[in-house]
A and B are shown apart, each in its own frame.
Chain A
Amino acid sequence: MIEEKAAVYVVDDDPSVRKALERLLRSADYDARTFASAPEFLDFTCPDTPGCLILDIKMPGLSGLELQERLSEKGIFLPIIFITGHGTVPASVRAFKAGAMDFLQKPFKDRELLDAVSRGIGKHRRLRREQNEMKALRTKLDTLTPRQREVFSLVVSGLLNKQVAFDLGIAEKTVKVHRARVMQKMGAQSLADLVRFAQKLGIRSSAA
Chain B
Amino acid sequence: MGKALIKPRAESNTRSAMLFACRIRWMTLFYPFFIVSLIVLEPGTAVAHAQVQPQNPLENKNILILNSFESNIPAFVKTIQGLSSALLSGGIGTKNQFYEHLDLARNPGPENKELLVQLMRQRYSERRIDFIITLYTEGLKFLLDEVQTLFPAAPILALYLPQGFEVPATGRRIIPHILTPDFTRTLETALKLVPGTKRVYVTAGIHPMDRWLERLARRDFKKWEDRLEFHYLGDLPLDTILTTVSSAPPDSIVFITSYGQDVDGKYHTAVEFNRQLARVSRVPIFGILDTLIGHGIVGGSLISFEYIGTRAGELVLDILRGTQDEKNIPVVLKLSQLDTFDWRQLKHWNLDESALPAGSIIVNKEFRLWDLRYYAIGVMVFILLQSLLIISLLVQKRRRELAEKSLRQKSKELDQFFDVSLDLLCIANTDGYFLHLNPVWESVLGYSREELMAHRFLDFVHPDDRVRTSEAVSALSSQGKVIHFDNRYRCKDGSHRWLEWNAAAVGNVIYAAARDITKRLHAESEARQRREELAHVTRVATLGELTAALAHEINQPLTAILSNAEAAQRFLSRAEPDIGEVRQILEDIVLDDRRAGDVVQKVRSLVRKEKPYDELLDINEAIQDVVALIRGDALLQGLSITMELNPKLKLIHGDRIQLQQVILNLILNSAAAMRDAPRAQRKIIVRTTMPDNLTVEVSVTDSGTGIDENNVERLFEAFYTTKAEGLGMGLSISQTIVKAHGGNLKASNNPEGGATFAFTLAVQQGGAP
Contact = CB atoms under 8 A, between A and B. Distances in A.
A17 B568 CA distance: 14
A28 B552 CA distance: 26
Interface residues of A, number: 22
B556 A24 contact: no
Interface stretch (B60-68, B559-567, B652-660): B559-567
A27 interface: yes
B16 interface: no
Interface string A1-45: 000000000000010110111011011100000000000000000
Residue among A21, A86, A109 with most chain B CB within 10 A: A86
Nearest to A27: B570
A21 B561 CA distance: 10
Given A14-B560, A20-B563, A107-B562, A28 B570 contact: yes
B54 to A, nearest CB: 135
B548 A23 contact: no
B541 to A, nearest CB: 13
Interface in B561-618: 561-564, 566-568, 570-571, 581, 585, 588, 591-592, 595
A153 to B, nearest CB: 53
A107 B559 contact: yes
Contacts of B592: 16, 20
A158 interface: no
Interface string B719-755: 0000000000000000000000000000000000000
Nearest to A23: B567
A88 B553 CA distance: 16
B109 to A, nearest CB: 174
B58 interface: no
Category for how many chain B residues contact A? 20 to 34
A16 B588 contact: yes
Given A85-B552, A86-B548, A16 B560 contact: yes
Contacts of A109: 562, 566
Nearest to B554: A85
Contacts, number: 80
A106 B553 CA distance: 11
A23 B589 CA distance: 12
Given A27-B571, A86-B547, A110-B570, A20 B555 contact: no
B205 interface: no
A85 B563 contact: no
B551 A85 contact: yes
A185 interface: no
B556 A106 contact: yes
A34 B302 CA distance: 164
A23 B571 CA distance: 9
A106 B588 contact: no
B557 interface: yes
B570 to A, nearest CB: 4
Contacts of B563: 17, 20-21, 23-24, 107, 110, 113
A85 B568 CA distance: 22
Contacts of A24: 563-564, 566-567, 570
A107 B555 contact: yes
Contacts of B558: 106-107
Contacts of A110: 562-563, 566-567, 570
B570 A106 contact: no
B556 A85 contact: yes
A179 interface: no
Contacts of B551: 85-86
A15 to B, nearest CB: 9
A86 B555 CA distance: 8
A26 B581 CA distance: 11
Contacts of B557: 16
B567 A17 contact: no
A17 B559 contact: yes
A58 interface: yes
B556 A26 contact: no
A108 B588 contact: no
Nearest to A113: B563
A207 to B, nearest CB: 59
A20 B560 contact: yes
A58 B552 contact: yes
A24 B569 CA distance: 9
Given A24-B567, A86-B552, 12 more contacts: A16-B557, A16-B591, A20-B592, A23-B564, A83-B559, A85-B555, A85-B559, A86-B547, A86-B551, A88-B548, A106-B558, A107-B555
Interface of A: 14, 16-17, 19-21, 23-24, 26-28, 58, 83, 85-86, 88, 106-110, 113
By Cβ-Cβ distance, the 3 closest A-B pairs, closest first, are: A85-B552, A27-B570, A110-B566
Interface of B: 547-548, 551-553, 555-564, 566-568, 570-571, 581, 585, 588, 591-592, 595
5 contacts: A16-B560, A16-B595, A20-B560, A23-B568, A85-B548
